[in-house]
Each structure stands twice: as C-alpha cells, then as structure tokens.
Amino acid sequence: MTSTTELMSYEEALASYDPVMGLEVHVELGTNTKMFCGCSTVFGGEPNSQVCPTCLGLPGALPVVNRTAVESAIRIGLALNCEIAEWCRFARKNYFYPDMPKNFQTSQYDEPIAFDGYLDVEVQGKTWRVGIERAHMEEDTGKSTHVGGATGRIHGADYSLLDYNRCGIPLIEIVTKPIEGAGDLAPEIAKAYVAELRDLIKALGVSEARMELGQMRCDANLSLRPHGREKFGTRSETKNVNSLRSVERAIRFEIQRHATVLSEGGTIVQETRHFHEDDGTTTAGRVKEEAEDYRYFPEPDLVPVAPTREWVEELRATLPEKPSVRRKRLQTEWGISDFDMQSLVNAGAVDAIVETVAAGADSDAARKWWLGELARNANERGVEVGALPITPVQVARVAALVKAGELNDKLARQVIEGVLAGEGDPDAVVEKRGLKVVSDEGALGAAIDDAIAAQADAVAKIKSGNLGPVGALIGAVMKATRGQADAARVRELILEKLGVS
C-alpha cells in the first residue's frame, strides 16, 4: 500500500471481512536472578555490570535452569487453565543478532511447559473465552543503542552500544489460539485479553507486568478472510506493542490496512510490523522467518524439565483469587454497579483505588478522584492512571484534607495538579500555593456581609422563603475568597445571617 492510498473505513472493512487474531505476550519474570545463571536482574545497573560467561555466551560456560522461573511458568500455566507438561525440554532458536551473544536464544519449541488452556475476558457485558495455545519459557536479549543517526535505528548510525544486563532475564511467552468470530469487537477483545492477562500476572506476583517498562509486551497477529470463508488469510505480526490502548489501535489499524490491500486485489505479505504511537499506524518490518529458518533443536546443555504431579498440585494450591472474582468482591465491598465497575476497569484504576482505600480514604472519594480528575489527566497524557506521577497515598491524603474541611473540591483539584506537576506531597503543595480553605469565620463573615449588601433583591426573595437566589450569594462569596471557602459552610452562614432555616 502506498501512502497516497486512502485507508478503508473500519465499518466498511468489517462489512466484507472477518478478522482473525493471535496474541503473543512476553512477560519478564520478577526473579532475583537470570534464567540460566546467577546474575542479578535488577533494572538500571551500569551497562554490562550484571553479566557472566553464561549469559555472555562464552565458550565452555554451562547454563543451569532457575527453579523459581520454572515455578512461575507452571503457576502462570495453571492460572491459564493449561495442562502442565510431565516432561519438556528447552530448544535452541538459532539466529544472529548482536544483542544475543550466544547466536541462539534458549527457548522452548514443540515441548512447552504449559499448553491448551483458556482465559475468560469480559467485553461489553459478555464473556469471551480466549484459547491459550501454549505458555513457554525463554530468555530475554540484551539492549542495543544506535548512536549518531537521526532515527535511533542502526541505519545511518555512527556506532552501536550493547548492554547485556537484560540478556538472559527469564521470559514467559503466552500464545493464544486463533481468535475467531470477534467481528467488530476484535480490537476491544484484544485489549481486554491483554488487560486480564496483566491483572492475572500481577495477582500471581510473578511480575509487575508494567507495559510502559517493557515488562510485558504484546505481538499482535491479524489476518482477514472474506465472510463465509473458512481458510485463514495471511497474517501480519505487529511487534512489541507496549500499552493496552496501543494493542487496540494496532489491531484496528491492521484491520483497515488489510481490508484496503485485499479489496484492491493486492496480497498481504507475512511480515512483522512496527506500531507508531504518534499516528496509530504500522509500517513494515522484516519478512517473517519460517520455523525452519530458526533451525530449532533440543538444547543439549540443559536437562529436561519434568515437574512431578505433586509439585504441580502444590503450586495449584498457591493460585490467587482470580481477577474476575476479585472484581466482583470489590464491587460488592464498594457498593457500585456493574457499569461503574466496568468504568474503573476500563480506566485501569482498580488497583489504584484499592491502594487508596488501604491508605485510609473512603472508597467513594477514591473512586471520584481516580475516575475524574486523574483519569482525565491520564487521558491527556496518553498513559494509564497507574503511570501518573501521583501515588495512592498522596490521593488518600487529598481525600483526607477534603474530609477534614481543609480543602474543597476545587482546591483539591489544584493540589492534585500540583502533585502531578512535581511540586511535592499534597501538604507541600497546599503550603506553597496557599490553598487552604478560608475557614476564618471573620473573613468569611465580612465577605458574606458584602454579598448581602450588594444583592438586596436576592435577599428579599430569600427572606420571603424562596431559596433559589442563595446560589448567587454563595457565588459572590466564593469569588471574593478566590474559591477558597467551603461552599456548604457559606450557605449555612448566609441562611443564619438572614434568619432563614
């Protein structure tokens, strides 16, 4: 497709074609050490300070499997309703890449540790069962930085820097079966699946699964087939999509792109693609290798993994409350409707609210701030609420100040704005910006007297029992105090002064 071709509309695309999706999600495990050596996995160390002969692929070095990583893989498999292999092996996936010094990635191929499961996700009040093909263990690659070019890509760069600290960090790759029949809900189902998987991984405690840090990333496969055709079309694979919103946008764009190409009589090439956050498009990457290009073979340096059934059952007993069950429980605790709960889930705000309540806030107040001011702000920044530079403890403090009458809502919003702008904790922002509610009754009283003197008509109506114009008087007082009065208290004082109750 050339850039001059007009993209077919989403609706038109779905009028002719059925989308088929496949989602491959990589999760970086939060183990202390790497998959096959004892090197630290702590993020942010000096480049190449967390390496050894094994993860550098030096001749003669021998790998040893990380037991905790296997345990995490089994727990993930069980949580995804998978079978756990009685016996499986690692395999070498051979390809040359400078950030992978062994020249092969130790992965699993036709013998994954977990296979044939499912994950239920809820979309528009309906449950979708997404089939899980397999979950397998592998290792991460290093990180390359290309210096000197305009694009940050290797092309045009003067030189490249390699950091092998990430090389060998345990990864679990979770691959869905083809997702068929989703129709126009496909992008939403893809997003809901990744969100549910993320919540499950977090609940298992095996990874923080923070997409913005690359701890969880999704490759989104998509193909189209004409309505009524059984055979799948050719797929594209959009790599390393790293936010929930991007998963949805990437699938949507690919549906439109495929439909445009196919309807013009063109063919879709099986290739990887890159997603661009700025304009929501994808561009071609490399033409996809076939499995035989990787010359997979069983890893001769590692013993097979043969988890006993006793161990598997022990691990099954450690599974946490399912995210869907937890959501139902929280919904009851907070006394909110299905619709309200769904809004919290969509906003990615559930954990933030749980933590804000744990820090002492009422659930109503916590919901109000995270769904209102903070969701709006996150939306503007194009991030999840959890990624905002404000903590649940800080939000709980704002709620406490409101509850104590020291801030009204308008001032509280300014405090939140200050925290988000990096001005410090809520108390520091209140102090610096001078945002306390005017509760000095003397100052309030003077502002109220002025308002009463200036609005004789309103006063007469109020005295005769028509309380409508009270709002105008409150407005005048709020204006005089630059919004820093407690409106409810002002109302009480006005009525008191006018002798109306």
Q: Which residues bind Zn ion (CB under 5 A)?
A: 37, 39, 52, 54-55
Residue 294 interface partner, choices ligand ADP, Zn ion, Mg ion, none, CB cut-off 5-8 Å depending on type: none
Helix intervals (H) in 24-128: 67-79
Integer Cα distance of 59 and 449 in angstroms: 88
- The minimum distance between CB 231 and Zn ion, in angstroms, equals 46
- Does position 237 interact with Mg ion (CB under 5 A)? The reply is no
- The minimum distance between CB 90 and Zn ion, in angstroms, equals 16
Which one, 193 or 334, has the nearer CB to ligand ADP? 193
- The minimum distance between CB 111 and Zn ion, in angstroms, equals 25
> b vs e for 29-63, b when ≥16 Cβ sit within 10 Å of the residue's Cβ?
bbbebbbbbebebeeeeeeeebbeebbbbeeeeeb
- The minimum distance between CB 162 and ligand ADP, in angstroms, equals 25
Please give the size of the binding site for Mg ion, defined by CB under 5 A.
1
Integer Cα distance of 394 and 420 in angstroms: 10
**Cβ contact 224:233 at 8 Å:** yes
Q: Tell me how far apart the terminal alpha carbons of the chain are, to the nearest angstrom.
A: 73
- The minimum distance between CB 239 and ligand ADP, in angstroms, equals 9
Q: What angle, rounded to 10 degrees, do the helices at 363-371 and 373-381 form?
A: 30
CA–CA distance from 122 to each of 126, 127, 188, 324 (Å)? 5, 4, 10, 9
- The minimum distance between CB 430 and Zn ion, in angstroms, equals 49
Which one, 67 or 129, has the nearer CB to ligand ADP? 129
Rg (CA), the chain: 29
Which one, 220 or 371, has the nearer CB to Mg ion? 220
Neighbours of 263 (CB within 10 A): 15
**Cβ contact 24:190 at 8 Å:** no
Residue 52 interface partner, choices Mg ion, Zn ion, ligand ADP, none, CB cut-off 5-8 Å depending on type: Zn ion
Integer Cα distance of 16 and 36 in angstroms: 49
Integer Cα distance of 288 and 176 in angstroms: 19
Which one, 17 or 164, has the nearer CB to ligand ADP? 17
Integer Cα distance of 79 and 153 in angstroms: 38
- The minimum distance between CB 71 and ligand ADP, in angstroms, equals 23
- The minimum distance between CB 222 and ligand ADP, in angstroms, equals 6
Which one, 54 or 260, has the nearer CB to Zn ion? 54
Residue 63 interface partner, choices ligand ADP, Zn ion, Mg ion, none, CB cut-off 5-8 Å depending on type: none
Which one, 272 or 394, has the nearer CB to ligand ADP? 272
Look up residue 129 and give its two tokens. Answer: 């069962």
| Footprint on residues 8-27 left by Mg ion (CB under 5 A) | 24
Which one, 93 or 102, has the nearer CB to ligand ADP? 93
Helix intervals (H) in 233-362: 244-263, 309-316, 323-334, 338-346, 350-358
Residue 246 interface partner, choices Mg ion, ligand ADP, Zn ion, none, CB cut-off 5-8 Å depending on type: none
| Footprint on residues 19-78 left by Mg ion (CB under 5 A) | 24
Amino acid 91 reads: A
**Cβ contact 295:94 at 8 Å:** yes
Which one, 26 or 326, has the nearer CB to ligand ADP? 26
Residue 39 interface partner, choices ligand ADP, Zn ion, Mg ion, none, CB cut-off 5-8 Å depending on type: Zn ion
Residue 37 interface partner, choices Zn ion, Mg ion, ligand ADP, none, CB cut-off 5-8 Å depending on type: Zn ion
Which one, 134 or 368, has the nearer CB to Mg ion? 134
Residue 185 interface partner, choices Zn ion, ligand ADP, Mg ion, none, CB cut-off 5-8 Å depending on type: none
Residue 35 interface partner, choices ligand ADP, Zn ion, Mg ion, none, CB cut-off 5-8 Å depending on type: none
Residue 184 interface partner, choices Mg ion, Zn ion, ligand ADP, none, CB cut-off 5-8 Å depending on type: none
DSSP 306: -
- The minimum distance between CB 245 and Mg ion, in angstroms, equals 22
Number of residue whose CB is nearest Mg ion: 24
Residue 22 interface partner, choices Zn ion, Mg ion, ligand ADP, none, CB cut-off 5-8 Å depending on type: ligand ADP
**Cβ contact 258:223 at 8 Å:** yes
Q: Which residues contact ligand ADP by CB under 6 A? A: 20-24, 133, 175-178, 221-223, 232, 235, 237
Q: Phi, psi at residue 92, to the nearest 5°? A: -90, 125
**Cβ contact 109:296 at 8 Å:** yes
Number of residue whose CB is nearest ligand ADP: 22
Which one, 54 or 331, has the nearer CB to Zn ion? 54
Integer Cα distance of 47 and 56 in angstroms: 13
- The minimum distance between CB 58 and Zn ion, in angstroms, equals 10
DSSP string, 154-172: STT-SEEEEE-TTTT-EEE
Which one, 235 or 273, has the nearer CB to ligand ADP? 235
- The minimum distance between CB 228 and ligand ADP, in angstroms, equals 16
Site residues for Mg ion per CB under 5 A: 24
